[in-house]
Structure 1
Amino acid sequence: MLTASPSSLVIHGREVGGLPRRAWSLDVLRAHLLSAATPRPVRDATWRYLIERARRDGPAWVIGCVGVAMPGLRRAAARLAPGWPGQVADLDAELLTGFLERLHGMDLDGPRVCGRLIDAGVRAARAAREAECGQAEVIRALGATSLAPVRPWDHPDWVLARAQAAAVISAEEHLLIGATRLEDVPLAEVAARLEVTCSYASTWRSRCEARLARAIADGDVDWIRTRHRRTGGDPAIPRTRAELAAMRALDAALSDPCPEQDSVRDGQVEPHRPHRAHQWGPGGVEPRGGVSCGAPHRGLGDGDRSDTTPRTRRLSVQRAGWEVSTP
């Protein structure tokens, strides 16, 4: 809309320190701010200028600010959408309301100017969600029949599953916490399954539990779908720190002749080496990119916001007559 040529709003680079000295339409400016090559001080200075224009010159520049911030708003809405109890249009409205309220009253001296605007929108949307869920719980409590619990369900297993789906913890960390904390499996036994030392497993568990506690306190695992699309018959394998342990196991497999029986090839007796398959850790799903959970979310523009297709990586090893393949 107002960010698109030819009727777009324009700023001049000489008005913002760090921008090249030329005219910038807002759509081109947005792409420049999203570039990794643009320094953060330049982004913050540009956003301070945009906010000052919005406060001084009125609605056109306010809408322009929303347009420049649209990629971040879409990511925030995609993260909030799974499990949203109402219409996604209501989610977008709450997100934009918080963004605009902060736009008119925010202190411009601090860093992360655009990030703080989007954070304000996220807080407003979460507050609206909590208020609506509170009303739903009261209504359900008055019912005479047995009903399913209101989401999010707070059983520890569900919390861990949602945390894994949100990429707060990996599949290995899910196993490490769930087995040792909920099932009373000895830490040494789980460490052996993960192919790490007991002391490393203890440190690893402490760190991922601290990360999980922060995510729970921030509400990041409250509304996450735990069902994901799959490609093929194999589960997606997350990229985790257990890859190092998997590599050590792979090295051990390559160095172990492991003869079981002899076979005859071209008249010669050769030791048989069985096929061994090693996956990178136990099966699990890890969404990519920061936000990639839940059903596709439409709103805040025409694009789909959906979970990315999980990636599967399998490493099969044969030695001597073995082959290596990494599809």
Structure 2
Amino acid sequence: MSARSWPSSPLAAAGRAFTLLVQPPTPIGFDGRGFDGLPDEILPLEQLRALLLAPQTNVEVRDAVWRELVIRARRDGPAWVVAAVGIALPGLRHIAGLLAAGWRGDTRDMDAELLVGFLSRLKTIDLEPPRVVGRLIDAGLRAARRSRDADSDTHLVHTGATGPTAPIQPWDHPDLVLARAVAAGVIDADEAHLIAATRLEDATLAQAAARVGITAGLASSWRLKAERRLRDAIRDGDLAFVSLRPRSRRRRRGDATQPRVAATQQPVADAPLRKTAASQRVAPADDTTRPCVAATQQRKTASPPRAAAASATQQRRTVGSMLGAAAAPEVVLAAQQTAFVGKTSDREAAGVGAPGIGAGPA
């Protein structure tokens, strides 16, 4: 194989080496006999990887197989080291994709550090606790994150002042991302603690689960589901505008009061205009009253009963004059004989309801 055809990416090179390892004529196989949940035969490594990634495979079976892979990698030489890396390659690629999100530099250095951390942990990992492959991948993740943070730190401007430094744009501090996710309801506080303790710190999943008060298996399920929700929220931009600062209620209340005050002051400002319009409507009242009085006098001459009613009205006007209530007879006749159907201002201007005048309907 020529040097040009060999991949330049460390993870791609590890995948190519794993593919060559399982090719005929001398493929390496895994003896599945004696492992519950695996076929009783020699399994090709590709088939073994597919069985370990299958959802129906039990967690205990997965841990038992990985304990055997770690022992063989330590005992049987480089071929089984490549086999262990190739079987864990889907998880390593997933972590590499998360690390490369938003990274503008070269990702090959991070991929190399990811592999170095995985292989270094492969030599020293404790096989008694569960989640063997998860702890191996976590070790690679921590090594790659240290490399990325060191590369990011070279772009910072250092000063003599002590205190926290702002994260480089467009990246954000992971703790702030988790805090915004909790504030937005994407994850809860326990899930954020599990992610921070196991992904950002050096705590194992069993240690983080003990702090929360749950088992390691339940903590693994919680963290997996929480990370999926967190990934979807970041991808959809749901955490981009989540504020962690409490807003002032007094300011919002004042802002909401100003439109109401303006609406209250508007009718007061319009009151002179309404009074002017009312006076314009009242002004023609005398002109409209005179035709009504003339029509009433004609009906009084033609109809004796109505003439008697008019005489009684004249007597009422005389009594009103004696009492000091001066009222024009035309207004009294108009109020007695014709119903006013205008607005209240028109009725008051015409004398209806004035002191000493009984304004009954026609």
**TM-score, structure 2 normalization:** 0.44
Q: Whose strand proportion is higher, 1 or 2?
A: 1
**TM-score, structure 1 normalization:** 0.48
Bigger Rg over Cα: 2
Q: Which has the higher contact order (CA 8 A, sep 6+)?
A: 1
Q: Whose helix proportion is higher, 1 or 2?
A: 2
